[in-house]
């Protein structure tokens, strides 16, 4: 295995002494910092090249859709210049990043230059790891410029060895000192973000496990937590105290609390659930080795599927022929066509986007022509439709991105800057 040192001389890694190897390890950290610094420099210059004409034309986090769809919060903190909408897409694509990750890098670069100058100087001299500086930029983004400068003065010199707890304490100290009104506003904004989110498959892998995230006022959640603990204690079998651990009893306790709440309202169920399962009927015979696939979740054993369906009322949809290609003379595709495209492509077909296709718009690749409510016939067909999330649908419509679907199921995208990217059905992206 051959590497190069900082002077570009080749070295055989297996032949290195311990002292030499440690020296090269230290060099590699400096090289990594220089590479990340270079990206931040490029990010800042890309933002400089794309100023917003006015606030109404500026990029905001709401451009990304999802939970932030209606958010008009600027991408960087107070005191940074506004950046034009659709600035992040080509920048992110050049780095092989999602749009959100590209936008975050632009925001971090702007904050470092305009709000955290001491930290920025130490990034430039390679005395702070750029990833640490970016963490500080993100932690101070909602502070006023004065409060951010206070944190910068206090932490820049020690940031390279500073943990997240110290940063968090310093940010809250600065907010309380300089942004008292903003602190109250922050509390109101926090309340606006209260809600319940269900995520399937912690750590990106689903095996019959989901994750429920609740954000709300402290007293209510404390009472809920106390109730869960009480019910979990009541579920303990004194004759078999080791049969079920506490955490498993807490999950059972949630089920008990839900059942009690439904019974109190006279309901027997929380309403219908729609689950998209794909499996071969022959696999149902063996609950141990049979395997199916649940959309948004991943592979599930037929044994778990049987548990889900036991005692439930089930409606089975007929098998859809995915080779259908017939067209309709209308803008909106019929349900069978929409389902076909969703199953075919699975996610938004824009480079590096992983938004589930069921959450996407169905875009006419060649724009639909509507003349007197008719237009040329046959424009709506599976080969001329593709799922695009709302942000990337708008980028295609308004920001100069174009694409086409190829016969092998890939998509060829053309950026506004004469770049060409090939997107494969499995999400792989290649530059052409």
Report DSSP letters for 156-180, one per residue: GGGGGG--HHHHHHHHHHHHHHH-H
- CA–CA separation, 34 and 121 (whole Å): 13
Selected residue with higher pLDDT from 308 and 98:
98
Side-chain half-sphere exposure of 3, counting CA atoms within 13 A: 13
pLDDT single digits (tens) 58-76: 988 875 554 444 446 789 9
Residue pair 63/85 in contact (Cβ under 8 Å)? The answer is yes
- With 0-12 / 13-18 / 19 or more C-beta atoms within 10 angstroms meaning exposed / middle / buried, residue 352 is buried
Q: Confidence band (pLDDT; 50, 70, 90) for 210? A: confident
Q: List CB contacts of 65: < 8 A, sequence separation 6 or more.
A: 389, 390, 391
Spell out the domain ranges in the chain: 2-189, 196-261, 277-309, 335-431
When mean pLDDT is compared across 3-7, 72-76, 140-144, 363-367, the lowest value belongs to 3-7
Selected residue with higher pLDDT from 82 and 299:
82
Using CA atoms in the order 389, 393, 395, 396, what is the torsion angle rounded to 10 degrees?
140
- pLDDT for 361: 93
Residue pair 420/430 in contact (Cβ under 8 Å)? The answer is no
Go through 11-43 and write b for each residue having 16 or more CB atoms within 10 A of its CB, e for each that does not: eeeeeeeeeeeeebeeeeeeeebeebbeebeeb
Mean pLDDT of the chain, nearest integer:
84
- pLDDT for 289: 65
pLDDT single digits (tens) 19-37: 888 888 888 899 999 999 9
- pLDDT for 362: 95
Structure tokens belonging to residue 37: 């610094």
When mean pLDDT is compared across 138-147, 203-212, 238-247, 257-266, the lowest value belongs to 203-212
Using CA atoms in the order 285, 288, 289, 292, what is the torsion angle rounded to 10 degrees?
70
Residue 207 above 80 pLDDT? no
- CA–CA separation, 412 and 396 (whole Å): 13
DSSP symbol at 333: P
Nearest to 201 by CA among 98, 296, 304: 296
- pLDDT for 183: 62
- pLDDT for 66: 45
Q: Catalogue the long-range contacts made by 159-165 (C-beta closer than 8 Å, 24 or more residues apart).
A: 159/119, 159/122, 159/128, 159/132, 159/133, 160/122, 160/127, 160/128, 160/129, 160/132, 162/132, 164/135
Q: How far is CA 413 from CA 96, 398, 429, in A?
A: 14, 15, 10
Selected residue with higher pLDDT from 5 and 111:
111
Residue pair 112/40 in contact (Cβ under 8 Å)? The answer is yes
Q: Confidence band (pLDDT; 50, 70, 90) for 265? A: confident
Q: Confidence band (pLDDT; 50, 70, 90) for 431? A: confident
Selected residue with higher pLDDT from 130 and 251:
130
pLDDT single digits (tens) 379-430: 899 999 999 999 999 999 999 999 999 999 999 999 999 899 999 988 889 8
- pLDDT for 193: 76
- pLDDT for 69: 42
- CA–CA separation, 260 and 279 (whole Å): 34
- pLDDT for 70: 44
Q: DSSP labels for 72-138?
A: --BSS-TTSPPBBTT-HHHHHHHHT--HHHHHHHHHHHHHHHHT-HHHHHHHHTTSS-HHHHHHHHH
pLDDT single digits (tens) 172-185: 889 888 877 766 66
Please compute the mean of the pLDDT values over residues 347-368 and round it to a whole number.
92
């Amino acid at each position: 295995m051959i590497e190069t040192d900082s002077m570009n001389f080749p070295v055989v890694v297996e032949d290195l002494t311990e002292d030499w190897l440690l020296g090269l390890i230290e060099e590699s950290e400096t090289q990594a910092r220089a590479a990340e610094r270079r990206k931040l420099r490029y990010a800042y210059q890309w933002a400089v090249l794309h100023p917003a004409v006015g606030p109404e034309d500026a990029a905001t986090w709401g451009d990304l859709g999802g939970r932030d769809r209606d958010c008009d919060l600027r991408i960087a903190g107070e005191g940074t210049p506004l950046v034009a909408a659709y600035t992040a897409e080509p920048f992110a694509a050049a780095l092989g990043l999602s749009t959100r990750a590209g936008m975050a890098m632009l925001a971090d670069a702007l904050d470092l230059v305009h709000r955290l100058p001491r930290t920025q100087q130490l990034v430039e001299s390679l005395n702070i790891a750029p990833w640490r500086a970016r963490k500080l930029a993100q932690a101070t983004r909602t502070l006023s410029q004065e409060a951010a400068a206070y944190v910068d003065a206090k932490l820049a010199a020690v940031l390279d060895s500073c943990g997240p707890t110290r940063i968090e304490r310093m940010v809250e100290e600065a907010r309380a000192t300089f942004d008292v009104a903003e602190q109250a506003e922050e509390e109101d904004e926090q309340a606006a973000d209260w809600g319940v989110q269900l995520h399937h498959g912690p750590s990106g892998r689903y095996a019959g496990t989901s994750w429920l995230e609740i954000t709300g006022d402290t007293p209510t959640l404390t009472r809920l937590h106390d109730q869960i603990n009480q019910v979990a204690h009541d579920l303990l079998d004194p004759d078999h105290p080791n049969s079920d651990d506490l955490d498993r009893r807490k999950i059972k306790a949630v089920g008990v609390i839900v059942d009690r709440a439904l019974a109190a309202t006279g309901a027997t169920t929380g309403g219908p659930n729609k689950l998209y399962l794909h499996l071969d009927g022959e696999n149902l015979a063996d609950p141990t080795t049979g395997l199916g696939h649940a959309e948004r979740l991943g592979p599930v054993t037929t044994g778990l599927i049987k548990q889900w369906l036991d005692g439930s009322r089930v409606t089975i949809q007929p098998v859809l022929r995915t080779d259908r290609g017939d067209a309709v003379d209308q803008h909106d595709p019929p349900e069978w066509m929409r389902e076909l495209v969703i199953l075919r492509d699975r996610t938004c077909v824009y480079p590096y986007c992983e938004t589930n296709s069921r959450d996407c718009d169905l875009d006419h690749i060649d724009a639909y022509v509507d003349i007197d409510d008719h237009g040329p016939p046959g424009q709506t067909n599976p080969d001329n439709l593709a799922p695009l999330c709302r942000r990337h649908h708008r980028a295609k419509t308004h920001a100069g991105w174009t694409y086409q679907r190829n016969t092998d199921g890939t998509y060829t995208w053309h950026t506004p800057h004469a770049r060409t990217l090939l997107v494969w059905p499995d999400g792989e992206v290649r530059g052409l």
